[in-house]
Chains A and B, each alone.
Chain A
Amino acid sequence: EIVLTQSPDFQSVAPKEKVTITCRASQDIGLSLHWYQHKPDRPPKLLITYTSQSISGVPSRFSGSGSGTDFTLTINGLEAEDAAAYYCHQSRNLPLTFGGGTKVEIK
């Protein structure tokens, strides 16, 4: 099973600041890494697919990078509505797995 390790677990960031979340895979997953935003009482929302591909309707301040085992989600210019938990997810191998999540709080 591929283990995804996210860091940090929690981040408190002021509006307009930059947020960086990392996700490390226990083995090479190529580019098969996706990012989700999850707010309370809502289903998760896909933000970035296959490491860096944007999703229609997702603000351009969200971007992804990486390959192999190391990946990054960046939020350039945090907004109040971005307060949420963020998860990475790999679809390279079964079982599919998620990272442990990063909670982003607005300072």
Chain B
Amino acid sequence: EVQLEQSGGEVKKPGESLRISCKGFGHNFNDFWISWVRQMPGKGLEWMGRISPTNSYTKYSPSFEGHVTVSFDKSINTAYLQWSSLKASDTAMYYCASGPGALDVWGQGTTVTVSS
């Protein structure tokens, strides 16, 4: 059974960089894409993008492309979501998730707060 474990909550200032992580466990971990999903305070779920653990091929939602970077370290089965310059509007809960079509395995979520 695949499990996803995310890094802890972060508090950052506007303009700072950040990388959050999602570590995979289980023998089927590399079978499916890893997606990142955002939930802003009081809002719904938004798909940001995904990465293949096999070849690190990425695909982004147009709403997020150019603002975040998704990467994967095969040696430690860990996916990353990265910002080079945070904005206050990046304040949200971020989930990683995986699955063959539907997202049937989710990380516990990482809270990111961006405030001056």
Query: B66-74, B82-90, B98-106: which lies at the A interface?
Result: B98-106
Chain A residues bordering chain B, tally (CB within 8 A): 24
Interface residues in B22-50 by Cβ distance below 8 A to A read 35, 37, 44-47, 49-50
Residue of chain A at shortest CB distance from B33: A96
CB nearest to A98 among chain B residues = B45
Closest to A1 in B: B62
Contact check, B103 vs A101: say whether CB atoms are below 8 A apart.
no
Known: A34-B102, A89-B102. A94 touches B108 (CB 8 A): no
Determine if B80 is an interface residue (Cβ-Cβ < 8 Å).
Answer: no
Dominant SS among interface residues on chain A: loop
Shortest CB-to-CB span from A32 to chain B, Å, is: 6
Instruction: Please indicate the chain B residues that have their CB under 8 angstroms from the CB of A67 in the complex.
Output: none
| In the complex, chain A residues 12-68 whose Cβ is within 8 Å of any chain B Cβ | 32, 34, 36, 38, 43-46, 49-50, 55
Contact of B47 among A38, A46, A95, A100 (CB under 8 A): A95
Q: How far is it, in angstroms, between the C-alpha of A45 and the C-alpha of B107 when the chains are bound?
A: 11
Q: A43, A91, A99: which contacts B106 (Cβ < 8 A)?
A: A43
Residue from A32, A50, A91, A95 whose CB has the most chain B CB atoms within 10 Å: A95
B102→A95 contact, CB < 8 A: no
Which of B44, B60, B106 makes the CB contact (< 8 A) with A98?
B44
| Residues in chain B within 8 A of chain A (CB atoms) | 35, 37, 44-47, 49-50, 59-63, 95, 97, 99, 101-104, 106-109
The 7 closest A-B pairs by CB, nearest first: A43-B106, A34-B102, A95-B61, A101-B44, A49-B102, A96-B47, A91-B101
